[in-house]
Amino acid sequence: MIQLAIKDLKLFLKDRRSMLVTFAIPIALITLFAFAFGGAGKSSSKAKISLLVSDLDNTSASQGAIARLDTLKSIQLKALPLAEAQKAIENGDESSVLVVHQGFADSLKKGGSLPLELQYDESKEIEVGMLQQSLIPTIAMLPFNMGNSREMMGNRLAKMAGSSNTQAKEDIQAKSDNLFDAISKGVASGNGNKTKNNPASNFFGSDIKMTKLVKATNDNQLGLVQAVAGTAVMMLLFSVVGIGMGLLDEKQEGTLKRLLYTPMNPLNILFGKMISANVISILQLVIMFIYASLVFGLDIASHLPGLLLTIIATAFACSAFGVLLASFAKSRQQVQGLSTLIILVMSALGGSMIPLFLMPALMQKVAVISVNYWSIQGFYDVFWRNLPVLNATFLSRILVLLLIGLALNSWAVVMFRKNILKLT
Amino acid sequence: MIEIKNLKKTYEGREALKGISFTIKEGEFYGLLGPNGAGKTTTISIISSILKADSGDVIIGRYNIDTHPQNVKQLIGVVPQEIALYNELSAYENLMFWGGLYQVPANELSNRANELLKQFGLEDRKNDKVKNYSGGMKRRINIASALLHKPKVLFMDEPTVGIDPQSRNLIFEVVEKLHKEGLTIVYTTHYMEEAERLCDRIGIIDNGQIIAEGTLDQLKNSSSIKETIAITFSNLNALHVKEIATFWSDMSQDENIIHFHSSDIKSDLSKLVLKCNQLGVDIVNIEIQKTNLETIFLNLTGKQLRD
């Protein structure tokens, strides 16, 4: 019995595929998810959420407020003119812009409602929610942290009370001073950034107007697009690997050698495989989106040109990946092990498993190396951002997918000559 | 039809072919015999243009394989050692696919496929998936797939491995018919009886070299080996063996059987029977073992063909 166990362990240790599935893949995924959910790294190295800011007030008060926001550890501020900022959001490059409207300084002084607006992409609601959580306490504390805060608060309270009587105003100012002192103590004791415990933020509430710059056409669209696009691309990668492995099957079963006996150019064998992989990939994606349309009501009819373009580009890139893996590997087992690892990592990284906006900024940057990223962003452009087919951002994503496909196919040709055509 | 000159091929420092040369006439049935690893498949791979030789020339028809590989590929048909078919396709679909790669027009191809299915006795099951065929039936389709474009030369690399006698006989009949019709056939095998039955000429290959070549009779005549008379005795003892050995030195004993090597069986047989009677040993059985390819091969290479 022990001998049998030892034998099995020896076999296991010699089986690279088992080692890969047992150790390498889980370790890779744990690492990725740990980064994705922010569990990895020290707090000082936590990734910041990017926030654009457009200062239309352009006063020392507005600049001071922006400088105050810039001290937040969780936010990376970037100043841009409003039109540029809005374009970046519409293209899906950024999630939101904080607009400091004209009259900000005046409102701050008079204790009026601050003319701040957060324009955002609804598809990145979770990221925007996190931004809000960071912004609101700081904005609420602006009257305390900027000059004339005691006066500002008094003005604000008086305004809220709606009194024009001088005596009443003075009473309010006196009460305001007491309140100000109490709140100031709270701020000083370190509760300043915690909305829940901070009397100031409870008192002032949010002064940010929320505006959806990029909106869903229906309520389920975002989750649906994420689910369909994310799953479709990941499953497509798995299925194209299967198609690519047909090459290795042909080699193993002798049909590849028989094909070489014919007058056909040997490279046509690979090109034939590429064509069939593309056709099957397109078919698979089309059927998945038709299913999502019929069962979940995804509106494909009004997005048809963009959808088809994205499907074709995605199929091209993914099928090239499958063919390359098969050309690269020397056995079916090798392809299976390698492909599982690569696909799971690419899918986790590229947004198939976790929506990209939930990931830290660093991982969002790294995600661009994944085919999944470009495909999913393409589908987002089509369904979510409603970008026209000729939009430069959308076309750039399509171009990237096509270039990935081209590069992988070219590499597959080289590897096919080197590995697959070695027959004897 | 085929001219091979000084063909050499080395794999990772090992010489697979050490300068093979032979010629095959048009319409000839040429057998290439050799044990596993002798160089048969390497030779077939080179002359069917899927493997480059390190040096040497191969001319098929009028074409040099290095300069006109596509012309050569149109001239030849190859029956690989493996059953290289698509199992999920029917026999008919397989034939249409393989024939299509030789640019045979669709109508002509369909007629040709049906004709071959009939010839190989598979007309009734032409629409069945190949995966449901027996090993012998698959072998037949494997051969038919190489004949769709009516090649001038057919290379058959061990085409009858692992099949039932019925399929084997059917394949022999078809191959013999093709040979009669003028097809040049190069046939590799390690089944001696196949080579003896089918081949006009035989080349024996071992360690990457042709070590003997000729018709079966020429090979027998050129061989130094003798035929054998194997006599089984019922009461053989050590004294008998000593006496017999004095009388006939070119012999070997295997328990109660003695193998007498002879260059003239007719006269030697009577001498041996007479001597045995004189010694008082009882003969149970007499077997004449004639020279065949197996013994020639064994003599030439020191190996069994199936080694």
pLDDT for A317 beyond 60: yes
What CA–CA distances, in Å, run from A422 to A51, B49, B118?
A: 55, 13, 36
Q: Which one, of B155, B154, B169, lies nearest residue B121 by Cα? A: B169
Token pair for A63:
């600049």
Q: Judge: A255–B50 Cβ closer than 8 Å, yes or no.
A: no
**Across the interface, which of A254, A263, A264 has its CB nearest the CB of B84?**
A254
Residue type, A166: T
Nearest-CA distance B94 → chain A (Å)? 11
The stretch A307-313 carries a mean pLDDT of: 95
Q: Which one of 3.30.43, 1.20.1080, 3.30.70, 2.60.40 gives the CATH number of domain B226-290? A: 3.30.70
For each of the domains in chain A, give its residue range(s) and CATH number, in order of start.
47-214 (3.40.1710), 221-420 (no CATH)
Name which of B73, B83, B86 is nearest A262 (Cβ-Cβ).
B73
User: Mean pLDDT over residues A244-264, rounded?
Assistant: 85
**Cα(A208)–Cα(A129) distance, integer angstroms:** 12
Query: Is the confidence at residue A70, as pLDDT, over 80?
Result: yes
Q: Which residues of B touch A262 (CB under 8 A)?
A: 73, 98, 101-102
Phi first, then psi, for residue B164 (nearest 5°) are: -75, 155
Q: In this complex, which of A253, A254, A264 lies closest to B101 when CB atoms are compared?
A: A264
3-state helix/strand/coil string of B158-224: CCCCCCCHHHHHHHHHHHHHHHHCCCEEEEEECCHHHHHHHCCEEEEEECCEEEEEECHHHHHHHCC
Beta-carbon separation of B50 and A263 below 8 A: no
Residues of chain B found within 8 Å of residue A255, distances taken between Cβ atoms: 84-86
Nearest CB neighbour to B102, from listed A255, A262, A423: A262
Domain with CATH 3.30.70 in chain B: 226-290
For residue range A348-383, list pLDDT tens digits in order: 888 888 887 777 777 778 888 999 999 999 998 888
Return the CATH superfamily for domain B2-84+145-221: P-loop containing nucleotide triphosphate hydrolases (3.40.50.300)
Chain B: which residues have CB within 8 Å of chain A?
A: 11, 41-42, 45, 48-51, 70, 73-74, 76, 78, 80-86, 98, 101-103, 145
Sign of CA pseudo-dihedral B265, B270, B272, B276: positive
CA B184 – CA B75 distance, rounded (Å)? 11
CA distance A231 to A254: 35
Instruction: Average the pLDDT over each of A3-12, A221-230, B94-103, B253-262 and give the range with the smallest value.
Output: A3-12
**Residues of B whose CB is below 8 A from A422:** none
Rounded distance between C-alpha atoms, residue A89 and residue A120, angstroms: 7
Cα distances (angstroms) measured from residue B3 to each of A253, A340, B178, B303: 31, 50, 21, 28
Residue A231 burial (CB < 10 Å; 0-12/13-18/19+)?
middle
Residues in B closer than 8 angstroms to A260, CB to CB, are 50
pLDDT digits (tens, 9 = 90+) for A166-175: 777 677 666 6
Residue owning tokens 């970037």? A78
Looking at the DSSP assignment, which residues form a beta bridge with residue B7? B20
Cβ atoms within 10 A of the Cβ of A141, count?
20
- Give me the residues paired with residue B227 across strands: B262
Q: Which two tokens stand for residue A57?
A: 């007030």
Cα separation, A69 vs A114, whole angstroms: 15
Largest CA distance in chain B: 78
Reference B48, options A42, A203, A325, A260; nearest CA is: A260
Q: Judge: B101–A259 Cβ closer than 8 Å, yes or no.
A: yes
Report the distance separating Cα B230 and Cα B287, nearest Å: 5
Q: Which of A226, A192, A239 is nearest to A351 (CA)?
A: A226
Q: What is the structure's pLDDT at B143?
A: 92
| Buried/exposed code over A180-213 (b: 16+ C-beta within 10 A; e: otherwise) | beebeebbeeebbbebeebebbeebebbbeeeeb
Q: What is the pLDDT of residue A199?
A: 45
10-residue mean pLDDT profile of chain B (307 residues): values are 90 86 92 84 87 89 88 91 88 91 89 92 89 88 92 90 82 89 89 85 88 82 75 87 87 85 83 88 87 74 62
- Residue range A224-242: average pLDDT? 85
Question: Is A103's pLDDT higher than 50?
Answer: yes
pLDDT tier at A205 (50, 70, 90 boundaries)? Answer: very low
- pLDDT at residue number B145: 93
DSSP H or E stretch at residue A198 = none
Per CB-CB distance under 8 Å, the chain A contacts of B51 are 423-424
User: Which of A253, A255, A423 faces B50 most closely, judged by CB atoms?
Assistant: A423
Please tell me the predicted confidence (pLDDT) of residue A11.
Answer: 61
CB contact under 8 A, B70 and A263: yes
User: Which residues of chain A does B83 touch, with a Cβ-Cβ cutoff of 8 Å?
Assistant: 254
* Residues in chain A closer than 8 A to B11 (CB atoms): 424
Dig out the tokens for A172 from the structure.
């309010």
Inter-chain contact B80–A254, Cβ cutoff 8 Å?
A: yes
Question: Burial of A63 by CB count in 10 Å (0-12 exposed, 13-18 middle, 19+ buried)?
Answer: middle
**Residue A140 and residue A198 in contact, taking contact as beta carbons nearer than 8 Å:** yes
Residue A253 has pLDDT above 90, yes or no: no
Task: Please report the pLDDT score of residue A47 as a whole number.
Answer: 60
Is B73 close to A261, i.e. CB distance below 8 A?
yes
Alpha carbons within 13 A on the beta-carbon side of B214: 13
Q: What is the ipTM of this complex?
A: 0.80
Chain B hits for A253, CB-CB cut-off 8 Å, are 82, 84
Give the closest residue to B91 by CA, choosing from B129, B140, B134, B132: B129
Instruction: Please give the pLDDT value at position A195.
Output: 42
Higher pLDDT, B5 or A188: B5
- How far is residue B282's CA from residue B273's CA, in Å, rounded to a whole number? 10
- Which residues lie closer than 8 Å to A327 by C-beta, 6 or more apart? A244, A247, A270, A411, A412, A413, A415, A416, A419, A420
Tokens of B273: 């029977």
Sheet containing strand A96-100, strands side by side: A75-79, A49-55, A96-100, A116-121, A208-214
Phi and psi for A241 in degrees, rounded to 5? -65, -40
Q: Where in chain B is the domain with CATH 3.40.50.300?
A: 2-84+145-221
- A345, two tokens: 């990592």
Give the model confidence (pLDDT) of A18-48 as tens digits: 566 556 665 666 666 556 555 444 444 456 7
Identify the band that residue A156 occupies on the pLDDT scale cut at 50, 70 and 90.
low
A85, A89, A140 from A77: Cα distances, Å: 12, 14, 18
CA distance A266 to chain B (A): 10
State yes or no: pLDDT of A332 exceeds 60. Answer: yes
Containing H/E element for B154? Answer: strand B153-157
Instruction: Tell me what the mean pLDDT of segment A261-266 comes to.
Output: 87
Q: Is residue A3 scored above 80 in pLDDT?
A: no
B33: closest CA of chain A, how far (Å): 19
